[in-house]
Chains A and B, each alone.
Chain A
Amino acid sequence: MKILYSWLKDFIDLDLTPEELVKKLTDLGIEVASVETTGADFEGVNVAQIIKIEDHPNSDHLHLVTLDLGGAKTQRVVCGAPNVAVGQKVPLARVGARLGKNVLKPAVIRGVESEGMICSSDELGLTQTRARGIMVLDENLELGTDVSALYGKPDSLFDLEITSNRPDLLSHLGVARELGALLNKPVKLPEIKDIKGEGKALEVEIRNPQGCPRYMGRIIRGVKNTDSPEWMKTRLAAMGLNPKNALVDVTNYVMFELGNPLHAFDLREVEGDKVVVRNAEEGEKFTILGGRDLELNTNCLMIADDKKPTALAGIMGGLNSGIKDDTQDIFIEAAYFNPPTVNKTVKKFAVSSDSSQRFERGTDIEGAALAMRRASDLFTQICGGTASEINDVYPEKFENPTVEFTPAQINAILGAQIPEERLKEIFSRLAAEFHAGGGKWTFKAPSHRRDLNHKWDLAEEAARFAGYDMIPVSSTKASLAFAENPKGIDLGKKFARELIGFGFCECKNIDFVGEKEIKAFGFDPKFCIKVKNALAQGWDYLRPTLLPSLLKNVESNFRFGNTNLALFETTKTFQSIKGFPVEGYGVAGVLTGTLEQEKFFGAKERPVDFYLLKGIVSTLLADVEGVTLVPSKNVPGYMHPKICMDIVLGGKTIGLFGKLHPLTLKAFGIKTQEVWAFEFATKLIEKAYSAQDFKPAKDLPVFPPSLRDLSVVVDKSVTYAQIASALDKTPLDVNFSYKLIDLYQGEHLPEGKKSVTFSLAFSHPEHTLKDKEIDEAFNRIVEQLRTQTGAELR
């Protein structure tokens, strides 16, 4: 809502600087988005007419312009504007004129003296369009007229952000009332010359009294539609409106002044002698001002005549009944429409107006009468005409509830000690119907404040007007009922902490992905959550997987020259099952280049490979009981067909890791490097793992282990898993562990063979092993490998 300082002063005596007013409004909870100065902040600029244009001798775009100042005086100035033309009347600033803070000095431009300047509207401070070109004035203006006189005095325009609970502040009167209560100053209503109506207005029939609890109408005949007076145009322009003609302007003017939207119909277009307020019929057609065709439904409240609808109630008039330049007889409407009724139609058609914004939030139902009288007065003053009586259909008078409360209750809500006298002062300024007798106080809000319905609302008023500084800062008190952190949260943090320990950087990505990406990662869009009103194409779905976002991060980092990346994200993932949303929690990471992230002088970089990834994944999941990693049987299309393993927990695949398919990378614009990835869901892990659980420490062995190396040669086709399985199953009388320390194939080995070397550790819980015992165990292992895998000792 824009508020013009000079307009505000029509209602309340104020002597505040713009900064002071901003502070007061802010303290009341009214945010001021901006303050700008309007009006003419210049002197010594007069109307002059261009009589001759010559080329500048030293420039191909400047001109020498000779102007007639009136009174047989002429003057020549240099001007570079592209739109100068002989005959134009323009604002001419002569040497010594003041434009804002600058005083015009004589100037020599490319060797020619300029005795003044033809101004653009930006240069006069009237606009900030940055458009080039001089301002062309009305050709009827008299030469020599002081241009500043056309624009009124400098003024301040405040752009207020009004919260939706305070529709009363969407007017100058409302803001004045608020300041009046704060500053304890009386609010003056505009002086209205009451018109005694002659003759009947149109009959009004309200068929939906819930949608329209009050409807007032009046006819004014014989009006002359003309231009509005300058003062009104200036004020409306400040509100951001283009002044049209007096009949339209007056309705807008009264709305910005008093807060009640009005509507004027051209009486010629109203058929019959009755106005009907009714709901539309399903499918009824209606064309609103501006020419848009609407197909209505039964929720739409309409203003209609005998034959047709003439307005979308409270929102916009119809094209058929609008005010025209030659309109002679008008019907004025001042009404109250039910906020949700208006809101439904606004939303259905995405039509909004200054009027609907007020009705949606709730206007002052009693104020409609004042608005009608004010508008009638302005209409007849400006356009003449004869007004009829007012037809006021208001079957059920609106009453705000009476709030019973005690001052102690107000202070209890606030935790403050506002003295009773101060509370009385505040409440009595807000409502005439406030009584502070004995223990119980009663308060009945005026009709423009429908937001004051109970003691909490009144507590807020008390705090606003007493100032929030009244509320003390006491010591913190807390009543606690101990609850555990959600497991998923703890788990996410645990994985994040560990991944950061491994050298990964955490990413956060926007949760939206496109259909192409979903499909590329093996998801059926049918089982994904689709956003109905997506912001952009490619942002239509909520992510079922975190990998596409991470690949985008890889690609953008490549562009910035970071080619060694270890990135991860832990957050929710989304799928849809039978139309119901299912939120999971995922951990995903990508790896490319080297983990050191840069080349360095000391040693060779170690590029990321599958076994490093496997180490990261298995370390990450090491303390989750029951996790196994198995080669994927059905490798998804986005992964390398041979380099992909499943993460399995309790027989269910909860994730995978491996190398991304080069075509997947290509689709994300990654062409130069291999990328490794992992992703798993934590839902099942939550059950297997609890951060709150303590894990008992294991006893350490007392006797040191004895180490032996074992090298065997096996067929290339024998997998590590087969060898390990054979080792695990060797029957032994001692404890035994093994570690793969070398893998070799090539020279010195027969074709089709590989050499595998383990470090073996033997121990016994009760004594140090003797050589004999170790030899026996070692031999059994060799025998086991020989029979199970065909291994020969090397």
Chain B
Amino acid sequence: MTIQEFQTSCGAIEQEYKNKIAQADSLSAVEELRVAALGRKGALTELLKGLKDFSIEDKKTAGPLGNALKASLAAMLDEKTEFFAAKQINDELNKTEIDLTLPAYPVAKGHRHPLSVAQDRMTDILSRLGFEWAEGPWVEDEKHNFDLLNIPLHHPARDAQDTFFVDGKMPLVLRTHTSNVQSRYMEKHKPPLRIMAPGRVFRNDSLDATHSPVFHQIEGLYVDKNVSLADLKSDLTAFMKGLFGNKAEIRFRPSFFPFTEPSVEVDVKCVFCQGEGCNVCKGSGWIEMLGAGVVHPNVLRNCGIDPEEYSGYAFGMGVERLAMMMLNIKDIRTFYENDLRVLKQF
């Protein structure tokens, strides 16, 4: 056999087997071809046996040629084998019968209370605006709940709060607002201070669709040099946009609170009726969201801060009112009934 004849034979084997492998249509056909080409008596094996008679020079050409052909046929055969092995598995899988539309198994999942959802949202926004979390007692003395906050004894503003009084050694009340944290915090800390105080408050109001003797507020207080009503407006605008998006409509109205001067009421356009007027907004199209203002100089003075040197703003908002808007809850009692059908929605 000459080297040329060897080369021609290689070409013929390659041609023949590549065609056959490509056409093989089963695992057994592939295995038969493997034996026919590469088996002990296979076509290529037989051909390669002739290599030993070549000169060293010719071996250098013929050897690599033969080995390369062997490798390439083996690779083609392996590929085909894998293909049919995979096909076999897939055919098996495709016999599966299952009704995927059956309902899911219940996965036990707990739920955060809607008021917590609302409060978390609000405190998250405030903490991004730099407010630290502060706390105060719920059973409070009259000094911190009223006196220091410029709500004097024998003043109608004090009577208007519908206070719960508590039996005890000293005259105590259930705090009527989270503003007690203002007086508590300012007694202990000096400006600059920037705090929020979320928590429960108590008013002697009967439970109905819009009133609850227990509800939640979030207080905000910022005291430093040169804090003005404009700072309040910017921070509250940022807060409301954080809650309702950039389209939120807000209005400021003058109001009165004993512990702020000037005082403002912040309204948000009613989300139930888009300002058309409905039961929730009592037909006005606006919902009172919160009360706020510049901290009254008497309050600063009462807490040992010089109002000529420092100024501040304060605000207090009801969590229920906001949660009712955000979560489309129309009756405040819903929050305290803890009906699973409601809780599971949040």
Contacts and interface: CB of A to CB of B under 8 A. Distances in A.
Interface in A307-365: 339-340, 343-344, 347, 357, 360-361
Given A472-B230, A532-B166, A535-B204, 10 more contacts: A340-B155, A415-B231, A457-B261, A460-B261, A472-B233, A475-B234, A505-B343, A534-B164, A542-B166, A596-B108
B164 A533 contact: yes
B135 interface: yes
A532 B167 contact: yes
Contacts of A502: 108, 110
B198 to A, nearest CB: 9
A343 B340 contact: no
A496 interface: yes
B137 A460 contact: no
B339 interface: yes
A102 interface: no
Interface string B241-284: 00000000000111110100111110000000000000000000
B54 interface: no
B40 interface: no
A468 B254 contact: yes
B7 interface: no
**Residue among B115, B168, B191 with the highest chain A CB neighbour number at 10 A:** B168
A497 B53 CA distance: 82
Interface string B163-174: 011111100101
Interface string A595-610: 1111011110000000
B74 interface: no
A503 interface: yes
A347 B161 CA distance: 14
A164 B237 contact: no
Contacts of B256: 29, 163-166
A562 interface: yes
A578 interface: yes
A482 B134 CA distance: 12
A20 to B, nearest CB: 15
Interface residues of B, number: 88
B253 A468 contact: yes
A388 to B, nearest CB: 35
B139 A542 contact: yes
Interface in B174-220: 174, 189, 191-195, 200, 202, 204-207, 212-214
**Residue among A357, A456, A464, A566 with the highest chain B CB neighbour number at 10 A:** A456
B156 A477 contact: no
B52 interface: no
B344 A505 contact: yes
A24 to B, nearest CB: 12
B206 A535 contact: yes
A481 B189 CA distance: 10
Interface in A420-470: 454, 456-457, 459-460, 463-464, 468-469
B181 to A, nearest CB: 11
Interface of A: 26-29, 163-166, 339-340, 343-344, 347, 357, 360-361, 412-416, 454, 456-457, 459-460, 463-464, 468-469, 471-483, 485-486, 488-489, 496, 499-512, 529-535, 539, 542, 553, 556-557, 560, 562, 565-567, 571-572, 574, 576, 578-581, 583, 595-598, 600-603
Interface of B: 102-103, 105-106, 108-113, 115-116, 129-130, 132-135, 137-139, 152-157, 159-160, 164-169, 172, 174, 189, 191-195, 200, 202, 204-207, 212-214, 222, 224, 226, 228-231, 233-235, 237-238, 252-256, 258, 261-265, 294, 296-297, 311, 335-341, 343-344
B80 to A, nearest CB: 40
Contacts of A478: 129-130, 194, 222
B112 A496 contact: yes
Contacts of A27: 253-254
**Residue among B108, B159, B238 with the highest chain A CB neighbour number at 10 A:** B108
B324 to A, nearest CB: 14
A524 B189 CA distance: 38
Which 7 pairs between the two chains have the least Cβ-Cβ distance? A415-B230, A415-B228, A29-B254, A503-B108, A460-B262, A500-B110, A163-B256
A339 B154 contact: yes
B141 to A, nearest CB: 10
B110 A479 contact: no
B344 A416 contact: no
B168 A511 contact: no
26 contacts: A29-B253, A163-B255, A164-B157, A357-B156, A414-B262, A456-B294, A459-B261, A460-B261, A463-B229, A464-B254, A468-B253, A472-B230, A478-B222, A479-B192, A481-B189, A481-B192, A505-B343, A506-B116, A508-B335, A509-B336, A532-B164, A567-B338, A572-B138, A579-B168, A579-B169, A581-B166
